[in-house]
Amino acid sequence: MIVFIEPFCGGSHQYVLKLLQQKYEDSHEFQTFSLPDRKWHWRMLVSAPVFAGMIPSNIFKDSTNKTQSLTEAREKNTIVLSAMINVAEFFGLRPDLNCGTLTLKRISYQTPLLSFLQ
C-alpha cells in the first residue's frame, strides 16, 4: 500500500501526485489524503495534526504479509509526504506509523522531483 499525503493539492503538487499515481497504479494499491489548494501558509502550519487525525490507524495492517522479507514489506508499505507537511510533527503525533513499529518506507518530496520522474 502506498499512501500519498498532500496538504496543498493544486498546481504542481497535484501534477506530481497524478504522476506518482499513474506510475504505481498497476503494481501497488494506493490511497490519497489531500486538502484543497488554498492558504498554503496555513497548510504548512496545521497539516500535520489534520492528517494525523484523518488517516485510519489500521491503514497498513491489511497489506502486511508475515512471510515477506523486510525489503519486500517496505516496498509495499510506503508513505509519500509533501514537503509542505511537518514530517517530525506528523510522525510524533502518529507513533503507530513509525518505521520502528512497521515495515514502512517514508518518502518526502518537493516539486522539483518532477525532473527525476521524467
| Tens-binned pLDDT, residue by residue, of the chain (118 aa) | 788 888 888 887 888 888 888 887 777 778 889 888 888 888 888 999 999 999 888 887 655 455 555 556 555 677 888 888 888 898 889 888 765 555 566 666 665 444 344 3
pLDDT of residue 85: 87
pLDDT score at 112: 46
The 3-class secondary structure across the chain, one letter per residue, is CEEEEEEEECHHHHHHHHHHHHHHCCCCCEEEEEEECCCHHHHHHHHHHHHHHHCCCCCCCCCCCCCCCHHHHHHHCEEEEECCCCHHHHHHHCHHHCCCCCCCEEEEECHHHHHHHC
